[in-house]
A and B are shown apart, each in its own frame.
Chain A
Amino acid sequence: NAGVMQNPRHLVRRRGQEARLRCSPMKGHSHVYWYRQLPEEGLKFMVYLQKENIIDESGMPKERFSAEFPKEGPSILRIQQVVRGDSAAYFCASSPPRQGLAGSSYEQYFGPGTRLTVT
């Protein structure tokens, strides 16, 4: 059973470009969470999605950031017009439905992260 997949693992963008980060959850998982880790800091929650729905985006910056989790395909975190302050590691986690079948319903399984560097 493959774990949470994220790609790319490393992404370099120049200021003003767009960054697209992808996350494929574990099989059977329908909940996806995105977190950001700035250098020397802990992870900060950004957004919580279920298939085709944003459940909680209280941690997302109001501008330039968006996320989706379509019916088919991976979840995408999109950052438009990147700035140097967006440089960070972005982690995706997934969990099964609350009455979960695949694993515990309260455990989030993390991907390896995408390290975004803005030059």
Chain B
Amino acid sequence: AQTVTQSQPEMSVQEAETVTLSCTYDTSESDYYLFWYKQPPSRQMILVIRQEAYKQQNATENRFSVNFQKAAKSFSLKISDSQLGDAAMYFCAYRTRSAGGTSYGKLTFGQGTILTVHP
């Protein structure tokens, strides 16, 4: 079974600064997806960024980028030029890409990291 671990329960950053959230995972599979989701106080889950394991290039979405280290099973999220609206709980998640098994489809989430942004 796959597991996802976020070792930072809370992080804080000054507005306009950069912060990195950590995530490690454990899997025996070679083909999978990794995600970062944001959950603001409204509790709506919002997809921030996605990485396909077969791609060596790190994904980037505007101010959000990842550092994907497949051999180390590490998937960190970097938020540049932090904004007050970035304050939220952030979840790292894993999903298999193998279409054959019944585990295809389900997301396995980490415990989450609460990000506080100071003005």
A residues near B, CB below 8 A? 31, 33, 35, 41-45, 48, 55-56, 58-59, 89, 91, 93, 95, 98, 106-108, 110, 112-113, 115
Given contacts A43-B91, A107-B47, A107-B50, contact A56 B109 (CB under 8 A): no
Q: Is the CB of A56 within 8 A of B102?
A: yes
Q: Which of B97, B102, B107 lies in contact with A43, CB distance below 8 A?
A: B107
| Total A-B pairs, Cβ < 8 A | 56
Judging by beta carbons under 8 Å apart, are B95 and A106 in contact?
A: yes
Give every chain B residue within 8 A of A55 (Cβ-Cβ). 102, 105
In the complex, whether B103 has a CB less than 8 A from a CB of chain A is yes
How many chain B residues touch A (Cβ–Cβ < 8 Å)?
A: 22
Chain B residues within an 8 Å CB radius of A95? 105
What separation, in Å, do the CA atoms of A7 and B113 have in the docked complex? 27
Interface string of B86-103 (1 = CB under 8 A from A): 000001000101010011
Name the A residues within 8 Å of B107 (CB-CB). Answer: 33, 35, 43, 45, 93, 108
CA distance A108 to B94 in the complex (A): 12
Partner of A44, one of B44, B102, B109: B109
Most buried by A among B44, B106, B107, B109: B106
The residue that A110 contacts in the complex, of B33, B44, B112, with Cβ under 8 A, is: B44
Return the contact of B91 from the options A42, A89, A113, A115 (Cβ within 8 A).
Answer: A42
Q: Is A91 in contact with B105, judged by CB distance below 8 angstroms?
A: no
CB-CB contacts below 8 Å: B32-53 with A: 33, 42-47, 50
Cα distance A108–B33 when bound, in Å? 12
* C-alpha spacing A37/B114, complex, angstroms: 15
A33 touches which of B103, B105, B110 (Cβ 8 Å): B105
* Min CB–CB distance B86 → chain A (angstroms): 19
Closest chain B residue, CB of each to CB of A43:
B109
Chain B residue contacts of A98, Cβ below 8 A? 99
B83 at the interface (CB under 8 A from A): no
Chain B 7-40 interface 0/1 with A at a Cβ cutoff of 8 Å (1 = within): 0000000000000000000000000010000000
